[in-house]
Amino acid sequence: MYPLKFEPILKQTLWGGDKIIPFKHLNESLQNVGESWEVSAVEGSESVVANGPDKGLTLPEMVRKYKEELVGEANYARFGEKFPLLIKFIDAKLDLSIQVHPDDALAKQRHNSFGKNEMWYVIAADKGAKLISGFAKEITPKEYKERVHDGTFAEVLQTCNIQPGDVFYVPAGRVHGIGAGAFVAEIQQTSDITYRIFDYNRKDKNGKTRELHTAQAVDAINFSDVQDDFRTAYDHVQNEPVEVVACPYFTTSVYDMTEEISCDYSELDSFVIFICVEGSCRLIDNEKNEISLQAGETVLLPATVQEVTIVPEKAVKLLETYV
């Protein structure tokens, strides 16, 4: 097998902006693109291979064709033919809704789906951009319902000013929202289940408000999820991987590189995804497959890859994630 690139799946949204098209160097004229789904096996939004002999196959078709060779033996035993991660870029021109995601147990019971644990890496942030993550103080389910009803729910949430390089892990059950001016990479479980709690009373192009899931969200919310700062602290060092999130669903590291690095995956029983958030580089695997990667692009290395050398062109920032 060889490193795979996919055609981006662009999603126009009520709150989408104008950053994704130029960031990804696309020849598109779409307006209000809120998301680019980079690697997706979500039904109805399946990524299509953009390069090599398997060009044109969908990600689910690739998993069915290559099985453990693509995802790794343990992942294939755990997830079967369901690819476990969804990778996105998100550009919020306006505030996204305040929302929460169910965990695996609740999502399985209600939707026969994975839950949705996710993380954000801030690529860019307009002046004053914020992310909402968790509670500023503990509240009860009764107070939650009252505050949603009277419009004061946002007052008990933790709002964080952001800057490029900030990382937030958002486990299922944590109330959250992406604020206007935030441009992030999102790594998450393969799930499109969102319980929308508050949407700023917005109306769509047809004059209708979007559906809220206030009642469904009660069972998903972790009401004791209170911290002073929900950012993930990490050391900003160059030319070595810095692990920022390690959870049962994915492990993610940041690479800030000006020099060549070789990564040994001989003991790793998983695919590896690289997301380029700044600059450009070349990736060369142990079978001499070579692929270029620039800001806005994502590549999936199959589990058969034993080693990859990353050669930056001047400088590059990458996110590496695997299961």
Query: Annotated active-site positions, please?
Result: 196
Token pair listed for 18: 């104008």
Pairing of strands 195-198, 182-189: unpaired
Match 């550009």 to its residue by tokens: 91
Residues 6+ apart with CB under 8 A from 289: 2, 3
β-pair partners for 293: 281
Match 């000013």 to its residue by tokens: 161
Token pair listed for 75: 């992942």
Residue type, position 185, single letter:
A
Cα 112 off chain centre by: 21
β-pair partners for 273: 300, 321
Phi, then psi, of 117 in degrees rounded to 5: -95, 140
Task: For residues 270 and 248, give the distance between their C-alpha atoms in angstroms, rounded to a whole number.
Answer: 13
DSSP 96-132: PPEEE---HHHHHHHHSS----EEEEEEEE-TT-EEE
- Report helix, strand or coil for 172: coil
Token pair listed for 38: 């980079």
